[in-house]
Amino acid sequence: MRNNLVLAPMAGITDRPFRLLCRELGAGMAVSEMVSSAPQLQDSRKTRLRRDHAGEPGPRVVQIVGADPRQMAAAARFNTDCGAEIIDINMGCPARKVCNVAAGSALLRDEFLVARILESVVSAVSVPVTLKIRTGWDSTRRNAVQVARMAEHFGVQALAVHGRTRACGFQGRAEHDTVRAVKAAVSIPVLANGDISSAAEAREVLAQTGADGLMIGRAAQGRPWIFREIRHFLEHGTMLPAPNPLAIWAILSRHLERLYEFYGEHQGVRVARKHVGWYLRALGGAEELRAQVNRAERGTDQTAALSAWFGQQALAAAA
């Protein structure tokens, strides 16, 4: 890994185009969207796209999700056979549809099952296995330290901790005291995750937790250059200037081209809509542009509208 900044796995977001972009803009590693361990879903189009790492630099990380130890082990083997160089286990997703089948962060309620899954997956593959967790199920059951010790015992080689319980969802501020406690309890690398949206916050969280690295998720949506900003600040102590409109358009246009190529134009145009919204949300005054992009049915219409708007922004900035 080139550095200690990792793009977090996010369903519907960290596809190959976005992972590639974040790697180019400073992320040391990028984790795939979670892939179900259910065997009947292994050959669906959605799953095939999620495990598509063609052209990506290593290490190629695939995150698997499920609640059955044997299925999780089989999924780990299947994905390593397909080229995964690291298997990441999801015990952090708070989504109701995942927790309702006792997977994701719901597993934190059953430490015996956690142990069985960890042992099964680590034993099933020769590549490194990592784990992503939350601090616990709710504020009365913060068991991240116990789970981290189990993970180390069974051979998990790194751990990412999101500083919220499952009950928190994404509400409130992440607390990193638990991350610090996890780091003190184990000798394997620990990544801190949650509410790291600036270079200054990155340095603060590293100092507060003693973590070995950072995992960045939602803060990278529409701002994939955040990895470059954090990396520069940690290495040099100075802030990079914010990208100007032409620089943002250069990044966004590359992202759009890859989305259209990866998904095909019909689906790519639709996937692009949410990404464009994230790119534009901090710029202001772009409500009509967002509506125009969302109405577009062709990639050329989306890019033409965006190119004209960013060109106008560049001229205004230069005036």
Q: In the chain, what percentage of residues exceed pLDDT 90?
A: 73
Question: Which of 186, 219, 236 is where one domain is finished?
Answer: 236
Residues whose CB is less than 8 angstroms from the CB of residue 191 and which lie 6 or more positions away in sequence, other chains included: 4, 6, 158, 159, 160, 161, 211, 212, 213, 214, 215
pTM, entire model: 0.93
Q: Could you tell me if 89 and 209 lie in one domain?
A: yes
Q: Could you tell me if 231 and 258 lie in one domain?
A: no
Out of 22, 82, 93, 99, pick the active-site residue. 93
> What pLDDT score was predicted for residue 103?
62
Q: Could you tell me if 189 and 249 lie in one domain?
A: no
Q: Could you tell me if 127 and 251 lie in one domain?
A: no
> When comparing pLDDT for 63 and 40, which is higher?
63
Question: Which of 187, 217, 236 is where one domain is finished?
Answer: 236
Instruction: Write out the residue range of the structural domain in which residue 70 sits.
Output: 5-236
Tokens of 42: 């292994």
Q: Could you tell me if 111 and 257 lie in one domain?
A: no
Q: Could you tell me if 251 and 223 lie in one domain?
A: no
Assign 90 a pLDDT band (cuts: 50, 70, 90): very high
**Three-state secondary structure readout of 164-180:** CCCCCCCCCCCCCHHHH
Q: Could you tell me if 250 and 153 lie in one domain?
A: no
Residue 136's CB: how many other CB atoms inside 10 A?
A: 23
pLDDT (tens digit per residue) in 6-52: 999 999 999 999 999 999 999 999 999 989 888 877 778 888 888 88
Q: Could you tell me if 221 and 258 lie in one domain?
A: no
Question: Which of 210, 236, 262 is where one domain is finished?
Answer: 236
In the residue annotation, 93 being an active-site residue is answered as: yes
Residue 20's CB: how many other CB atoms inside 10 A?
A: 22
d(CA 278, CA 290): 10
CA nearest to 18, candidates 4, 6, 32: 32
The CA angle 174-178-180, to the nearest 5 degrees, is 110
Q: Could you tell me if 199 and 266 lie in one domain?
A: no
Q: Could you tell me if 191 and 75 lie in one domain?
A: yes
pLDDT (tens digit per residue) in 226-285: 999 999 999 999 999 999 999 999 999 999 999 999 999 999 999 999 999 999 987 876
Q: In the chain, what percentage of residues exceed pLDDT 70?
A: 95
Average pLDDT over residues 309-316: 88
> What pLDDT score was predicted for residue 181?
97
pLDDT (tens digit per residue) in 108-158: 889 999 999 999 999 999 999 999 999 988 777 889 999 999 999 999 999
What's the gap between Cα 3 and its chain centre? 16
Q: How many helices and strands (H and E) does the chain possess? A: 13, 8
d(CA 126, CA 85): 9
Assign 182 a pLDDT band (cuts: 50, 70, 90): very high
Q: Could you tell me if 282 and 205 lie in one domain?
A: no
d(CA 54, CA 57): 9
Tokens of 169: 């969802």
d(CA 201, CA 239): 12
> What pLDDT score was predicted for residue 132?
96
Q: Could you tell me if 312 and 166 lie in one domain?
A: no
Count up the domains in the chain and report the number: 2
Assign 100 a pLDDT band (cuts: 50, 70, 90): very low
